[in-house]
C-alpha cells in the first residue's frame, strides 16, 4: 500500500491528489455492500446487545424499561450461570489440551512413512467433514444404555445399564469426548503442514550430534511448531465457547444443567424462556470473553505477518 514512488513535481502532486479522491470514492463504493451487511448483522447487533442488556425484557403489556445493571446482577445470582460457566471451563480445559495433543501425535505418525498412511490420515480427518449434528446423533446411539455399543462392550463387566448421558457424573465427559473426536483431525493438518516445512538438514545435523529421537522432538521439532500450536490453541479456545450443537442434540443441557455451556444458556434464555434481556447480558459476557481471545489472536497474526 505504500509503494507509490515519491513524486516531487508540484503538477504531478495535484494530479495525484485528484486521483486519490476518485480512488477513495471508488474504494468506498467497492466496500459499500460488504460494510452495509456487516453494519446490519455484526456492528448493530453487537451494539444492540449492549443496550438491551440494560433494559428489561419487553412483555405484551409492559414495554422495556431501563433497569441499569439488574440483568447482570441476575446473571451473577443465577446458579445455572455459574454452573454453565464452570461446565464450559471444564469442557475447555479437557478438550483443548487433549485434542491438541492427539493432533500432534497424529501428525507425527502420519508424517512418518508408515504403511497405509493415506488411509490413516483419512480416518483421522473424516470427523471434521461430518456435520456436528450427524456426529452427535451417532454418538447418542453409542451411549444408549442397554443396547448402545458402549453398553454392549461393557456388559461383561456389568456396565450395560449405565446411563452415560443421563447421569450427572458422566454426561459432560461424554459430550467432551465427542468434541475431541471431531476436532483433533482438523488440528492435525496444521501440524502436518508445519512438520513438512521443517528443513531436513536439521534432523541430519541433530543425528550427527547423536541426539535421540525424543530429544530431537523436544528441542527442535516442538519449538519450531510453536507458532502452529499457538494458532491451533486460539482456534480450540474459540471453538470451546461457540459450539453447542452437540449439547442441543445429545443432552439439551441436562441432566439438571450438568452439560449446559454458556452459548447453550444464551440459547435457552433467549429462545426457550424468551428472556431476551437476560440473554443479551449473557451474550455480552460471552462476547467480551471471545473478544479478548480474538484480540490475542489478532496480535499474534500481525506478528507472524511481520516476520514473513
Partner 1 sequence: MNTPAPSQVYAPTGASRLLETVAAWMLAILWILPLLYAVWTAFHPSEYSARFEPLAPLTFDNFSRAWSAAPFARYFLNTFALVTLILGCQLILCTLAAYAFARADFAGSGIAFALVLAQLMIMPDVLIVENYKTMNRLGILDSIPAIALPYVASAFGIFLLRQAFKTVPRELDEAARVEGAGPVQTLLKVYVPLAKPVYLAYGLVSVSYHWNNFLWPLIVTNSVESRPLTVGLQVFASTDQGIDWSIICAATLMTSAPLLIAFLLFQRQFVQSFMRAGIR
Task: Give, as ranges, the residues between 83 and 142 that touch partner 1 (CB under 8 A).
Answer: 102, 105-106, 109-135, 137-139, 141-142
Instruction: Say how far apart CA 290 and CA 242 lie, in whole Å.
Output: 9
Shortest CB 62 distance to partner 1, Å: 17
Between residues 135 and 175, which has the closer beta carbon with respect to partner 1? Answer: 135
Q: Which of 94, 225, 236, 279 binds partner 1 (CB under 8 A)?
A: 279
Segment holding 70, helix H or strand E: helix 70-77
Binding residue (CB under 8 A) for partner 1 from 85, 195, 237, 258: 195
Asked whether the beta carbons of 145 and 161 are under 8 A apart, the reply is yes
Lookup: cell for 28:
468506498
Among 13, 18, 69, 149, interactor with partner 1 by CB under 8 A: 149
Rg (CA), the chain: 26
Select the residue interacting with partner 1 from 3, 6, 10, 17 (CB under 8 A). Answer: 3
Of 203-222, which residues contact partner 1 (CB under 8 A)? 203-204, 206-207, 213, 216
29 to 68: interface string for partner 1, x by CB under 8 A: -xx-xxxxxxxxxxxxxx-xx--x----------------
CA contacts within 13 A on the Cβ side of 239 = 24
Place of cell 508540484: 10
Nearest-approach distance from CB 257 to partner 1, in angstroms? 18
Instruction: Concatenate the DSSP letters of all residues of 12-49 into one string.
Output: HHHHHHHHHHHHHHHHHHHHHHHHHHHIIIIIHHHHHH
- Measure the CA–CA gap between 72 and 276, rounded to whole angstroms: 13
- Over the window 251 to 270, marking each residue x when it contacts partner 1 by CB under 8 A and - when it does not, the resulting string is ------------x--xx--x
Binds partner 1 (CB under 8 A): choice among 71, 186, 236, 260: 186
Contact flag: residue 302 with partner 1 (CB under 8 A): no
Nearest distance from C-beta of residue 133 to partner 1, angstroms: 5
Q: Show the 3-state SS of 208-239.
A: HCCCCHHHHHHHHHHHHCHHHHHHHHHHHHHH
Which of residues 50 and 170 has its CB atom nearest to partner 1 in the complex?
50
With contacts defined by CB under 8 A, name the span among 7-15, 84-92, 162-170, 276-284 that binds partner 1: 276-284
**250 is a contact residue toward partner 1 (CB under 8 A):** no
Q: Which stretch binds partner 1 (CB under 8 A): 68-76, 80-88, 162-170, 189-197?
A: 189-197
Residue count, binding to partner 1 (CB under 8 A): 113
From residue 153, alpha-carbon distances to 62, 148, 171, 235, 265 in Å are 57, 9, 18, 34, 34
What residues form DSSP beta bridges with 62? 59
Amino acid at each position: 500500500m505504500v509503494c507509490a514512488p515519491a513524486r516531487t513535481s508540484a503538477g504531478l502532486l495535484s494530479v495525484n491528489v485528484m486521483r486519490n479522491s476518485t480512488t477513495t470514492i471508488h474504494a468506498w463504493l467497492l466496500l459499500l455492500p460488504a460494510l452495509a451487511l456487516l453494519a446490519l448483522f455484526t456492528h448493530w447487533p453487537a451494539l444492540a446487545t449492549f443496550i438491551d442488556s440494560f433494559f428489561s425484557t419487553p412483555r405484551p403489556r409492559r414495554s422495556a424499561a431501563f433497569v441499569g445493571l439488574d440483568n447482570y446482577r441476575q446473571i451473577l445470582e443465577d446458579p445455572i450461570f455459574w454452573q454453565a460457566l464452570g461446565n464450559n471451563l471444564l469442557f475447555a480445559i479437557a478438550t483443548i489440551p487433549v485434542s491438541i495433543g492427539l493432533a500432534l501425535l497424529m501428525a507425527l505418525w502420519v508424517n512418518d512413512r508408515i504403511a497405509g498412511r493415506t488411509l490413516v490420515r483419512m480416518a483421522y480427518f473424516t470427523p471434521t467433514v461430518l456435520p456436528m449434528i450427524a456426529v452427535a446423533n451417532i454418538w447418542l446411539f453409542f451411549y444408549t444404555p442397554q443396547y448402545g455399543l458402549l453398553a454392549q462392550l461393557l456388559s461383561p463387566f456389568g456396565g450395560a445399564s449405565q446411563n452415560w448421558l443421563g447421569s450427572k457424573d458422566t454426561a459432560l465427559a461424554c459430550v467432551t469426548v465427542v468434541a475431541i473426536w471431531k476436532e483433533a483431525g482438523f488440528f492435525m493438518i496444521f501440524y502436518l503442514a508445519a512438520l513438512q516445512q521443517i528443513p531436513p538438514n536439521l534432523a541430519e545435523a541433530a543425528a550427527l550430534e547423536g541426539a535421540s529421537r525424543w530429544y530431537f522432538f523436544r528441542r527442535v521439532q516442538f519449538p519450531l511448531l510453536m507458532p502452529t500450536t499457538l494458532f491451533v490453541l486460539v482456534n480450540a479456545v474459540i471453538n470451546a465457547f461457540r459450539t453447542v450443537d452437540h449439547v442441543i442434540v445429545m443432552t439439551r443441557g441436562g441432566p439438571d444443567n450438568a452439560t449446559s455451556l454458556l452459548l447453550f444458556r444464551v440459547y435457552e434464555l433467549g429462545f426457550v424462556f424468551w428472556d431476551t434481556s437476560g440473554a443479551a447480558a449473557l451474550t455480552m459476557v460471552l462476547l467480551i470473553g471471545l473478544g479478548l481471545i480474538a484480540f490475542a489472536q489478532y496480535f499474534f497474526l500481525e506478528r507472524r505477518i511481520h516476520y514473513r
